[in-house]
Amino acid sequence: MAAPSVAEVSAHRDAVETYAVVGAGAIGAYVGASLARAGADVTLVARGVHLEAMQQRGVRVLSDRGDFQVEVKATDDATADGPFDCIIVALKGHQLAGMLPTIERMSHANTRIIPMQNGIPWWYFQRHGGPLEGLALESVDPGGRLANAFDPDRLIGCVIYSSTELEAPGVIRHIEGTRYALGRPDGGTDPYIAGVAAAMTAGGLKAPVEADLRSQIWLKILGNAALNPISALTHATIAGMLRDPSIEALIREIMTECTAVAAAIGIELPVSIDKRIDGARRVGEHKTSMLQDVERGRPLEYDCISGAVVELGRILGIPTPATSHVHVLTRLLDISLSV
């Protein structure tokens, strides 16, 4: 990764003064370290041996684009250092509700929130318009807790096209992709989101501001709804799944169902299923984040992905048999991991 220029650093320092990353695991620490290497004031929120390593040695990123190491503030109690101008929430979807009191204490009246979750985000139907305006999916936001907690006008959505792994405490292995697409729920833009994009770009990331982030969300769901749960169930890498013609056929079936649900709410995907699968194939022998969670015995993030597709299909009258079958098998796997 090329070092940021003086002009890039100066441009984004005026946009925001302080960042916090809640959930500084593989993705969160990578983004936080990238911001910090460009001079941003960043605090990483983590726990355990990973936190201890970051406090002692900073964050080391290993990447084919160039390794780097950066000292960065790290804590298990960011409420003591806040409030922050921008909070990047890099937690799994099912972890968010439990962190609401902490995030509230870390915020001031104008704090921007950037949720970096897979699947359908809780804010998806806020500032959406049409008959589904304000819809809160139970699979994503039970009881609408998140929708009620966050002002959609202070949200910056984010779709991640980046693969990273926590290789060791304090050490992030960047595997592929640096794109973090940004967008407001209303599709507009303002100096703040432009400043965040500049800060991320200065740190070596790609951060385009999208007027239609929802189509990017569905493009990501195509892969997450098909590849993640199947990899968790079979322990196969992405390349391993796509080498098996029967599994590839199932992946295509799930992607076709997701495309139909997306089309029913007015989303035209920017690439075909063939291109989406070709892109996944190029990632190679990578373990999906859900498979990594299985191997570590962690709760799985599936309700906001396949669960949301199934729930929306039911609301809209779109059949989703393949997605539904894989979803319930993944739920059983998740239950077995918690026993």
The answer on pLDDT for 80 being more than 90 is no
**Mean pLDDT throughout 245-250?**
97
The answer on pLDDT for 200 being more than 80 is yes
Average pLDDT, the chain: 92
pLDDT of residue 284: 85
Catalytic residue among 73, 92, 220, 287: 220
Q: Percent of the chain scored above 90 by pLDDT? A: 82
E-state strands within the chain: 18-22, 41-45, 59-63, 68-70, 73-75, 84-89, 107-115, 157-168, 171-183
Contact 19, 84 (CB under 8 A): yes
Which neighbouring-strand residues pair with 40? Answer: none
pLDDT of residue 257: 98
Query: Which tokens hold the place of 206?
Result: 């790609």
Does the model's pTM come out above 0.85?
yes
Pick the CATH number of 215-338 from 3.30.420.40, 1.10.287.470, 1.10.10.10, 1.10.1040.10: 1.10.1040.10
Helices (H), 25-130: 26-37, 48-57, 100-105
CA proximity to 226, closest of 144, 305, 162, 294: 305
Q: What are the structural domain ranges in the chain?
A: 6-211, 215-338
- What is the CATH topology of the domain spanning 6-211? Rossmann fold (3.40.50)
**Mean pLDDT throughout 95-110?**
91
The answer on pLDDT for 13 being more than 80 is no
Neighbours of 82 (CB within 10 A): 19
Q: Is 220 a catalytic residue?
A: yes
The answer on pLDDT for 298 being more than 80 is yes
pLDDT of residue 94: 82
pLDDT of residue 304: 95
The answer on pLDDT for 4 being more than 50 is no
Q: How many residues does the chain have?
A: 339
